[in-house]
Amino acid sequence: MVLLIFFVGALLGVLAGGTLCVHYLRSAIADDIGPQLKRMHADFDPQLRRMQNQLDLIEYAVNAALAHWYAEMSSNHPQPRAIPSPRGTGENQS
């Protein structure tokens, strides 16, 4: 039982150490690549802007088609209910 406790403790220590190592490694890599990404973004900026404009046009077309479809569906006469409305229990009932 004591051996199992030491084994679990060792596994948790390795897991925590690995997590810290990955965290610091990722931050160090991001610090090194950061300035290069800004330069790359400046080079691709016209292309990215053009692609974003195309995506915006596609989004507008889909939204317009959906709005037209919903308007068309709402202008149709409503379908009869599958379950009839409950009858009133008032005095006017025949």
**pLDDT tens readout for residues 3-22:** 888 888 998 898 888 888 88
Q: What is the pLDDT of residues 21-58, one digit of tens each?
A: 888 777 777 676 666 666 665 556 777 778 888 888 99
Does pLDDT of 94 surpass 60? Answer: no
pLDDT at site 37:
60
pLDDT at site 39:
60
Q: Rounded to whole angstroms, what are the CA distances from 17 to 12, 14, 24, 26, 61?
A: 8, 5, 11, 14, 51
pTM above 0.85, yes or no: no
Max CA distance (Å), the chain? 86
